[in-house]
Amino acid sequence: MMSSESTHRPRLWPSLLIAAILAIVVPVLWLSSDDPIGLHLIFAPVYIPVAFGVFWPAIIAFRRWTSPTRGPWLPRHKAATIVFLASVPFCVLILRMEIKTAIFERAEELRGKRESELHAKEHEAATSAAEEALAARGPLGFTEPLKPAEATAIAGYIYGHPEMSPEELLRISELYQDPTVMYDLARRKSCPPQALRILYEKAVEQTRAAPFAPLNYVDDTLTAIAGHPNTPPEVLGKLLTLDSSVRAVQNARGVVLENPHVPKPEKIAYMRTMCGSSKKEVHLVDELRFAASDVDAPPELLECLAGKQYVRYYVASNPKAPIAVLERLTQPDVDASTQKVAQENIAKQGVGKQ
């Protein structure tokens, strides 16, 4: 009889396996649901045993109550009951922690929403006050340091009034040093040379005074100055010689090279730093490409750049490239498009000499 009963007992290992899988998968999914980095997974060694203490007794109870013949009370039933009772306090503790976390997150969400609404109202009030002050005093009626709303209002006035005279723009450049205002001044086509010189000095001073601060509009201001047709040539030359501590100048240099008013000696001196033993710092690819195609590029620079795969095509198309350099670019180890352009350039230079 005892032998018959033991043969009809359900096997223990399937319930252990199923409970173990659920105890691992469910907590891991739960902990990683709102945590893309995965930091919450450090709590998995706590959650997994507690989850097993719930899932395994639940499976044992389910199998017993769904069995046609419930059979005797087995040791596994007693063990499952003990495991479940031991897990209950931890379940309650985890549940309370999750509820507290949810309440805290909801409170933070509401607080953030209220602060956002308050900031929006404050911004609206400040903007309205700045616009009223601008209408009453004009763009020259403010004092530094400008409030954000005041700077935005003045910049908007400059952008929306193309009829402003160069004299007005000069006075604004002398009065304000807010990056937003400076940028809108620098990109005005009618901005006079003296105003651009003042804006350049202020922009460089700001980026040197705070080398690790966000660039804000300072880099855009320097880039606008670099490409402006009214920028004095000496200012363009200074932009090419600024040291690398001025972060905002890197993008401006490439624009300066393309400005037809840049002094030729400064331009050539800067191009010499792009390759060979004269190379001092990292240059943007656009700068190298411009230098490779520029008719003012020194022959030794073109010879050096011809060895760089990503710019040698521009060397091959340069009408002032030395014949020896072009012949080098017609060799089989050079890509077909560069070979073709170099051959055409050699033919054009031969015709020109005739």
The residue among 68 and 195 whose pLDDT is bigger is 195
Q: What is the pLDDT of residues 314-354, one digit of tens each?
A: 999 999 999 999 999 999 999 999 999 999 999 998 765 55
Q: What mean pLDDT do residues 56-63 have?
A: 87
Percent share of the chain, pLDDT over 70:
90
Give the pLDDT score at 30: 83
Give the pLDDT score at 10: 72
Give the pLDDT score at 28: 86
Give the pLDDT score at 331: 93
Q: What is the full DSSP assignment across 52-107?
A: HHHHHHHHHHHHHHTSSS-----HHHHHHHHHHHHHHHHHHHHHHHHHHHHHHHHH
Q: Which of 117-121, 194-198, 278-282, 291-295 has the lowest mean pLDDT?
A: 278-282
Arithmetic mean of pLDDT over the chain: 86
Q: What is the pLDDT of residues 214-227, one digit of tens each?
A: 667 888 899 999 99
Is the per-residue pLDDT at 3 higher than 90? no
Give the pLDDT score at 76: 85
Give counts: helices (H), strands (E), the chain: 17, 0
Q: How far apart are CA 88 and CA 79, in angstroms?
A: 14
DSSP 68: S
Q: What is the pLDDT of residues 136-163, one digit of tens each?
A: 988 999 988 999 899 999 999 998 898 9
Q: What is the pTM of this model?
A: 0.65
Q: What mean pLDDT do residues 300-311 have?
A: 92
- For 251, the 3-state DSSP assignment is helix
Q: What mean pLDDT do residues 46-64 have?
A: 87
Confidence bin at 304 (pLDDT 50/70/90):
very high
Give the pLDDT score at 317: 95
Q: What mean pLDDT do residues 294-311 have?
A: 93
Give the pLDDT score at 108: 87
